[in-house]
Amino acid sequence: MEKKIFLASPHMSKEGYEQEFIKEAFDTNWIAPLGENVNKFEEEIANYVGTKHAAALSSGTAAIHMALKALDVKQGDIVFCSSLTFSATANPIIYQNATPVFIDSEKETWNMDPKALEKAFEKYPNPKAVIVVHLYGTPAKMDEIMEICNAHNVPLIEDAAESLGSTYRNKQTGTFGKYGIFSFNGNKIITTSGGGMLVSENAEKIQKVRFWSTQAREKARHYEHKEIGYNYRMSNIVAGIGRGQLKVLDERIKEKTEIYNQYKEAFATITDIKMQPVPVNTVPNHWLSVITIDKQSKVKPLDIIEKLEKENIETRPVWKPMDLQPVFKEYDFITASIDNQSVGKELFETGVCLPSDTKMTKEEQDVVIQNIKELFECN
């Protein structure tokens, strides 16, 4: 194909909501520093997900970092973390000089395995925090995970970078733990080009995060600093884009779900292909539609990736788990699988993220589907 089909690219509203808020920022000369768009975006995100407070930051990574700092995670502390995720989930643990312990996934959601989490508590009874990821927009088993964390009196951080708008038992992801984080990176379901949000019920902590994120500058006539600060706050222009994008979030979720369902229907007769499961009591946002290929299949994930690449169609392997990453090789990994085989590793080796771009037409998705079907018909 001449036109590239993307995995997930930015999709501005056809109504031009983003431009309206950006123009307002220009008209009032609030370009780079904080302003009304930042304040309103925080309020609107908090209202959308059903929490009380939010801090708009430069990235989802910054939000995780600030959540760990707000929990006073420091050198010598252990933090349990989902292993099957992007490195941005784990990196902030190292920023705080703490020690990650990576927790394997389970097959029903691909997210943190509650049994492995229990096993981790048996080995490390006093972690400072737990970070759970809602992978590709599919909620983790929050009832079980929250029950375990509460039983051990350990706070939970939800990495909902990929799952804005997803619900578990009609409650938005990002609102179960002490802190939830969202990402507005260019490939997310809504984007501000770059940016993130930290949400919490704790007003005092969110205010403190805003303070740390603006270089920890004290209220004084001169520049006074009593703590180490960070340049993590979102700009007023970026927040304006976010406000416009938030207006079409429900529409984007609907479009992503239609893409997922079209793939599911198309591959229903190919027994070697399985879609990422949709667990009971959840409504995923289907940020990415992801398949796994049976290990015995003659068609391998790389065959799909390379064939589509030749057709100018973008795909991606499933995240390589953190316990397999060279940078984290010294840290412990806990799995609950009977044969001690990592579920995350299996998903990485058998999975493919398919084009899930909301600007992709049905005809373009048909081209993706047909190319994949051809591989299985030839084998």
Q: What is the pLDDT of residues 244-257, one digit of tens each?
A: 999 999 999 999 99
Q: What is the pLDDT of residue 34?
A: 85
Chain-centroid distance, C-alpha 168:
15
The 8-class DSSP code of residue 54 comes to E
Q: Within 13 Å and on the Cβ side, how many CA atoms surround 94?
A: 12
**CA 355 to CA 363: how far, in whole Å?**
13
Question: Boundaries of CATH 3.40.640.10 in the chain?
Answer: 17-246
**CA 81 to CA 118: how far, in whole Å?**
13
CATH 3.10.20.30 fits 17-246, yes or no: no
Q: What is the pLDDT of residue 1?
A: 64
Instruction: Kindly tell me if the per-residue pLDDT of 88 is higher than 90.
Output: yes
The 8-class DSSP code of residue 355 comes to P
251-288 residues labelled b (16+ CB within 10 A) or e (exposed): ebbebbbebbebbbebbeebebbbbbeebeebbbbbbb
Residue 340 pLDDT level (bands cut at 50, 70, 90): confident
Instruction: Kindly tell me if the per-residue pLDDT of 338 is higher than 90.
Output: no
Residue 172 pLDDT level (bands cut at 50, 70, 90): very high
Q: What is the pLDDT of residue 138?
A: 98
Tokens for 109, please give them: 């959601």
Tell me the CA distances in angstroms from 158 to 7, 207, 284, one per residue in order: 24, 19, 15
Range in 19-33, 285-299, 337-351 with the lowest mean pLDDT: 19-33
- As a whole-number percent, the residues of the chain with pLDDT over 90 amount to 95
User: How many Cβ atoms are within 10 Å of 298's Cβ, its own excluded?
Assistant: 12
DSSP string covering 4-30:
PBPSS-----TT-HHHHHHHHHHHTT-
**CA 76 to CA 55: how far, in whole Å?**
27
Q: Give the right CATH number for 249-378 from 3.40.190.10, 3.40.30.10, 3.40.605.10, 3.90.1150.10.
A: 3.90.1150.10
Average predicted confidence (pLDDT) for the chain: 97
Q: 313: burial class by Cβ within 10 Å (0-12, 13-18, 19+)?
A: buried
**CA 48 to CA 172: how far, in whole Å?**
9
Instruction: Using only the alpha carbons of the chain, give its radius of gyration.
Output: 21
The model's pLDDT over 199-253, given as tens digits with 9 standing for 90+, comes to 999 999 999 999 999 999 999 999 999 999 999 999 999 999 999 999 999 999 9
**CA 328 to CA 323: how far, in whole Å?**
6
User: How many Cβ atoms are within 10 Å of 359's Cβ, its own excluded?
Assistant: 13
Give yes or no for a contact between 129 and 154, defined as CB atoms under 8 angstroms apart: yes
Question: Boundaries of CATH 3.90.1150.10 in the chain?
Answer: 249-378
Tokens for 180, please give them: 């939830």
Cα angle, residue 88 at apex, residues 83 and 90 outer, rounded to 5°: 45
**CA 78 to CA 81: how far, in whole Å?**
10
The model's pLDDT over 26-71, given as tens digits with 9 standing for 90+, comes to 998 887 778 999 999 999 999 999 999 999 999 999 999 999 999 9
The model's pLDDT over 135-157, given as tens digits with 9 standing for 90+, comes to 999 999 999 999 999 999 999 99
Cα angle, residue 137 at apex, residues 373 and 80 outer, rounded to 5°: 120
**CA 143 to CA 91: how far, in whole Å?**
26
